Amino acid sequence: MPLKQRRIRIMVSIFCLLTGFFFGGASVLASTEVLPKGIIVGDDTGLKVGEDGKYFVEHTDIKPGLTFTKDITISNYAQKEGSYTLRMDMKEEKTSGAINLLEAITVKLELAGKVVYDGDLMGRPTSADYTLPIELGEYSQGETRQLKATFQVSTHYSVEEWEKPSEADFYWIFYATNESEPLKPSKKPSPKPKPPYLPQTGEEWRWLIIGFGIGLMSLTLSLYAIKRRQVRT
């Protein structure tokens, strides 16, 4: 009996996190864009992420033991000087059929020849060495790197299960973080300390005299009260 169609589709989204506040070395989210201008993610067929932040990588002939690859290019062509730090996460969209293809298919991601993730499409790595989100490094202006994705379909399912149609959609979400420069110290000279208060106007002198008079009155009354007690004794 011929195998039924099994389809898997990858939906990629890109978000930009612009950070502008710093507390103890940690950055706080200031604003979010769907697709940062100049951050380009595309595959070897020429497909690129659109303005909506998504594109599709589709494979419709999934079968036991199948291996297929996808070469993804990540580039920073932003006009703004500075670098972007990229991370990637995985999110399940939907699955249907006898086989959960997100569990039945594993992917190994290699960035510039280094394995940064190895696990299933649900984000469960084969080793504790790989965690989510996946760190894809820092990209300076004009820099490009290759991310190679190698997909491997499991053979650990029965023929009966493979004879039934199955489908799966999931997201690869790229986060491009651009951290603004910390505030530079002001070049303005620090204000000079104010001199001790000295009255300058007639009104200020008047209040000073009144205050002095109240103090003198209090002292006089206190001495008078002390003398009266001494006389009585």
Across the chain, which has 233 residues, the per-10-residue mean pLDDT values are 57 46 25 61 72 63 87 86 85 85 92 94 89 91 92 90 85 75 44 49 43 44 48 54
What was the pLDDT predicted at 167?
A: 86
- Listed in sequence order, the residues at least 6 apart from 84 whose beta carbon sits closer than 8 Å to its beta carbon are 16, 36, 39, 76, 78, 138, 139, 176, 177, 178
What was the pLDDT predicted at 172?
A: 82
What was the pLDDT predicted at 220?
A: 44
What was the pLDDT predicted at 232?
A: 56
What was the pLDDT predicted at 63?
A: 86
What was the pLDDT predicted at 93?
A: 80
Give the integer Cα–Cα distance in Å for 13 and 41.
10
What was the pLDDT predicted at 51?
A: 54
